[in-house]
């Protein structure tokens, strides 16, 4: 882990951790403990999705109270999301898809960001916009490992964080691809574990994922 809040820039989002936890927080009081639990399991990076009313406050709470965690905002779908995430203290941005307008807005924040792509043409458009580090989403639905291999042969400049349908069992296969830096997923933070405050389970899942993926792929 090369990055903390004290770093001026997260130079490569894809090389921070092998697995980026994609987190949906329903209650604000879940934010700090889930971030702490993931860090305790060896994954001090959180992509907190803007999918619930408390998401921006959750980002702010983690930014303020869990400095060892690099906190990012996921599900950035419009320019205003990028600005709001920056204001809340997000250190990086992730979008499920990308338009030139959205890429411009994310770039304007000065934060590192991963635009979402799902096809060869979308990867080409992202490269045209100067983005070489991308999200592939929803990875399993759009072709997964096979698609990434095909893209790698024609667009080797693009590197990916695939997310969407990836599990502890498949993460290492993705990570072994030369054009994949890390994978993302929500399996580390099950809804029922967050609802129950079962932080030990989150830590155990994070420890399993970080150890397993690193061991198998590196």
State the residues that interact with ligand 3PG by CB under 6 A: 22, 49, 74, 96, 137, 163-166, 184-187
Q: Which residue number, 74 or 115, has a Cβ lying nearer to ligand 3PG?
A: 74
Contact 95, 115 (CB under 8 A): yes
> 68, 122, 135, 215: which one is catalytic?
135
In terms of Cβ atoms closer than 10 Å to its own Cβ (0-12, 13-18, 19+), residue 57 is middle
Minimum separation from the CB atom of position 28 to ligand 3PG (A): 20
**CA pseudo-torsion sign 66, 69, 73, 74:** negative
Residues 148 and 146: their CA atoms lie apart, in Å, by 5
CB of 138 to ligand 3PG, least distance (A): 7
In whole angstroms, give the CA distance from residue 124 to residue 189: 33
* Least CB distance to ligand 3PG at residue 29 (A): 22
Residue 15: its H or E element: none
Give me the least distance between CB of 62 and ligand 3PG, in Å please.
17
Please, are residues 59 and 73 in contact by the beta-carbon 8 Å criterion? yes
Q: Does residue 149 carry a catalytic annotation?
A: no
Measured from the CB atom, is 22 or 45 closer to ligand 3PG? 22
Catalytic status, residue 135: yes
In contact, 136 and 148? CB cutoff 8 Å: yes
In the bound state with ligand 3PG, the residue whose beta carbon lies nearer, of 128 and 148, is: 148
Contact present, 98 and 116 (Cβ < 8 Å): yes
Give whichever of 21 and 42 is closer to ligand 3PG, judged by the CB atom.
Answer: 21
Query: Residues with catalytic annotation?
Result: 47, 135
């Amino acid at each position: 882990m090369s990055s903390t809040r004290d770093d001026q820039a997260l130079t490569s989002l894809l090389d921070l951790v092998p697995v980026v936890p994609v987190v949906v927080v329903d209650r604000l009081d879940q934010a700090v403990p889930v971030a702490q639990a993931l860090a305790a399991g060896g994954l001090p990076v959180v992509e907190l999705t803007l999918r619930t009313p408390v998401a921006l406050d959750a980002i702010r709470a983690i930014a303020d109270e869990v400095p060892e965690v690099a906190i990012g905002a996921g599900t950035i779908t419009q320019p205003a999301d990028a600005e709001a995430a920056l204001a809340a203290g997000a250190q990086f941005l992730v979008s499920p898809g990308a338009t030139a307008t959205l890429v411009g807005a994310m770039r304007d924040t000065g934060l590192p960001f991963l635009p979402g792509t799902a096809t060869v043409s979308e990867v080409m458009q992202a490269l045209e916009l100067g983005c070489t580090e991308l999200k592939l989403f929803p990875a399993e639905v759009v072709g997964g490992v096979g698609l990434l291999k095909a893209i790698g042969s024609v667009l080797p400049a693009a590197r990916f964080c695939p997310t969407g349908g990836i599990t502890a069992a498949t993460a290492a296969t993705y990570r072994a691809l030369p054009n994949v830096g890390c994978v993302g997923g929500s399996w580390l933070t099950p809804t029922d574990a967050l609802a129950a405050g079962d932080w030990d389970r989150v830590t155990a899942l994070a420890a399993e994922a970080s150890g397993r993926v690193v061991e198998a792929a590196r």
